[in-house]
Every structure is written in structure tokens, then in C-alpha cells.
Amino acid sequence: MEETPTPHIMPGRPVPAFLRPLLRLRRPLTVLGLVVGITLFLNWLPPVQRNEIARAVLARRSLMVSLGLFTLVSLSLLWARGQIIDNKVFLFVNLWGNRPRWLDITMWVVTQIGAGLVAMGLAVYYYMEGQRMPALQLALGTMTLALLVEGLKEIMNQARPYLINTQARVIGWKAPGRSFPSGHTAHAFFLVTLLNFLWQPPFVITAALFVVAVAVGITRMYVGAHFPRDVVAGSVLGFAWGIFMILIDPFWHDWFTAFQ
């Protein structure tokens, strides 16, 4: 039986001691912060616009339920395949082959696209340019998706790969918290789905955007932060959340244009 070649292992840097107490409270503080942020954001919106959002969700409830069921079925199928195949694929992506330092750095940089900061940065840019509709969609979509991901992580309670595989390579700091689903991948797919709607680019640009999102998912395994099923689940979740933001757009777009 052919063995998978094991290259030099580069362990991740330990989290500084002064940050460890904060990391224990990271998840509840993150959830609390997101809830407060979304609440303040929705309170900032005029009542008419909040009502339009509610009407949009209710009017499309059948499609929303379908997307939700599709996501749940997809996740359940991935989960049913078991940890053996999942772990083998992770180790292949994480360990196999030559891993020069320049490649590690490149992968770490690419993975930051899914951190959510890119989407919020674009939201600020659109807002400063006077385009408040896309700024609103990016900001609200990113915050609500982050809250959803954190909630799912808490429910699924899946350990990170480096806690299960002692031989796993970790690039950068060891990601704290739980593993399922991949938040970086979810944010990357949400961002490219929404940008494709906002920009209406030619097919080549659309394909390139989704290639970037897929690349983010691959980097999450490469840097040792996620299993393959975490990545696939994150991609489905992010894509579905992007579609959700697109679906509610027509119900309040006209009012928001008039408000500007």
C-alpha cells in the first residue's frame, strides 16, 4: 500500500498568552457583538424599509424554505460520508507535496479574502461613493451570515483538524473555536455571489470570481483550519445567503432609491 509522502511539518505559532483569556470568551462575545450590531443596524433603518424586508422574506417563503432544505440535505449528505474520507482528503491537501515558504505565504494571503473584512471594506467604499444600496446589502449580509455561521459552529461542535491530526500543518496562528462550517468559505461565496449580482459582469469575470471563492476554500484546508466537509458546507451556505440577499432586493430597492 503506497504511503502518502509526509513533508516537513511547520507548526502554527501559539496564541500569545495575553490573548488566551479573551479567546475563551471569543464565541459568546462575537455572537453578542453581532446581535447588537444587527439590532442597531436595523433600528437605524426607517420603519418602512424594515417592513419591506419582512414582506420580502414572507413573499418568498416557499423559495426560502426550498433553499434551506437544500442546504440541510446537502450538509447531511456530506456528514454521512464519515470522517475517514473527510480526514484523508484533508491530509492530502494539507500535507502532500512540496510546500515552499512562498506558497505558504500566498495561501495565507488568499485565505484572508474570506475573513469578512473584504466585504465590509467594500461596503464602506460603496457608502463613501454614495451607493448606499450595495453598501447596505454587503454590510447586512455579512453580519447576518457571520451570526449564522457562529450559531452553526456552536450547534455542530466539530473540532478543528489540528486537534484530531497531530501531524497536520498549520500556517499562521491556530484558528480558535469550532470547525463546521467554514466561515471564511461561506463569506467568500456570499461575497462573489452578491458581487456577481451587483456588477452583472461577463461570464469570464463571473467564473473568475467563483474560482477565487473556491481557492479560499482550498486554502482553509491547506492552512490546517478546516476539513473538506466544512469547506463544502460553507460554500453552500454562503451561496444560499447571497441568493437570499438577491431575492429580497426587488422588494425594497425602489423605496431605497427614493429615500436617497
* Planar angle of CA 171, 217, 97, nearest 5 degrees: 55
pLDDT computed for residue 192 by the predictor? 92
pLDDT at 215 over 90: yes
* Residue that has been written with the C-alpha cell 469550532 in this structure: 178
> Domains along the chain?
63-259 (1.20.144)
Going by C-alpha positions, the residue among 30, 199, 180 that lies closest to residue 116 is: 30
Give the per-residue pLDDT at 159: 79
Report pLDDT for 189. Answer: 93
Give SS3 for 13.
strand
**23 in helix, strand or coil?**
helix
Q: Residue 197 is which amino acid? A: F
Hey, what amino acid is at 126?
Y
The grid coordinates listed for 235 are 460554500
- Structure-model confidence comparison of residues 134 and 73, the more confident one: 134
DSSP secondary structure of 126-168: HHHTT-HHHHHHHHHHHHHHHHHHHHHHHHH-PPPHHHH-TT-
To the nearest whole number, what is the mean pLDDT of the chain?
Answer: 75
Query: Is the pLDDT assigned to residue 164 strictly greater than 60?
Result: yes
- Grid coordinates representing 19 are 490573548
pTM of the model: 0.72
Q: How many residues does the chain have?
A: 260
Q: Which residues of 219-228 are buried (b: 16+ CB within 10 A; e: fewer)?
A: bbbbbbbbbb
Q: Are 210 and 159 in contact (CB under 8 A)?
A: no
What's residue 73's pLDDT? 44
Q: Which residue has the higher pLDDT, 72 or 124?
A: 124
Percent of the chain with pLDDT over 90: 10
97-133 per-position pLDDT tens digit: 777 888 888 888 898 888 888 888 888 988 888 788 8
Q: Which residues contact 26 (CB under 8 A, 6 or more apart)?
A: 176, 177
For residue 171, pLDDT over 60 is answered with yes
How many Cα neighbours within 13 Å face the side chain of 49? Answer: 18
* First and final C-alpha spacing in the chain: 67
DSSP assignment of 24-71 equals HTHHHHHHHHHHHHHHHHHHHS-HHHHHHHHHHHHHTHHHHHHHHHHH
- Give the integer Cα–Cα distance in Å for 182 and 159: 12
The pLDDT value given to residue 75: 59
Closest CA to 5 of 80, 94, 68: 94
45 has a pLDDT exceeding 60: yes
What's the rounded mean pLDDT across residues 25-32? 64
Q: How far apart are CA 194 and CA 181, in angstroms?
A: 20
The more confidently predicted of residues 25 and 236 is 236
Q: Is the pLDDT of residue 72 over 60?
A: yes
pLDDT band at 41 (very low <50, low <70, confident <90, very high): low
- Give one DSSP letter per residue of 75-111, joined into a string: HHHHHHT-HHHHHHHHHHHHHSS---HHHHHHHHHHH
Chain position carrying cell 426607517: 46
Q: Are 236 and 78 in contact (CB under 8 A)?
A: no
